[in-house]
A = this chain, B = another copy of it.
Amino acid sequence: MPRPRSEAARQSVLEAMRAAVMAGTYESVTIEGLAESAGVSKQTIYRWWPSKAAILGEALLEGDLPGADVSVPMSDDIRADLHAWFTAMSTGLARPEGVALARALIAVTATDHELGRALNERLAQPIRSWVAERIARGQVDEQVRPDVDAGAIADQLIAMASYAALIGQPLSAERVEETVTRLLRGIAR
């Protein structure tokens, strides 16, 4: 007999959170503003989520993730592929939404380590998959040593691009070039 939780309200809040965090800083998002723009009362938010971080977590975990959705077609040229892909991720993360996303991730992690870990996992997943696939291909082609850890490489590139975006100094084309060159030299057979 009790009235069930309003899915419309829930979606509305999550969507408002996504919009707000992309528009400003994570810290600049207020529960009050969220309620306002979601057309929902504050209490409804406080009833269902324990913290701002939790809302953002839920929003990111089930929403479309702008900024890190890098997907580059693969060719036979591993150098060209990695270069294209790292460039795409790097510039993608340097865009305002990318920066906002990265900063929000940091902020959430400050509040809730576990959630931060999960979010990072979720966000890095497609990237790791792509890298893993390309590296695997390289190994099949006998261009890449069989013992390289694709995950480590993905994490390195994510860290580099993210950190550069966070401190507002996107990687230059030369730096990207140099990084890919050196990377390949390190993993080449």
Contacts and interface: CB of A to CB of B under 8 A. Distances in A.
Interface stretch (A7-15, A78-86, A133-141, A180-188): A180-188
Contact of A117 (B103, B160, B167, B185): B167
Interface residues of A, number: 35
Nearest to A120: B167
A25 B27 CA distance: 12
A40 to B, nearest CB: 15
A169 interface: yes
Contacts of A179: 152, 156
Contacts of A152: 175, 178-179, 182
Interface stretch (A30-38, A58-66, A68-76, A105-113): A105-113
Contacts of A109: 166-168
Q: Which of A120, A163, A169, A179 has the largest count of B CB atoms less than 10 A from its CB?
A: A163
A106 B162 CA distance: 11
A27 to B, nearest CB: 6
A116 B163 contact: no
A82 B45 CA distance: 49
A107 B105 CA distance: 13
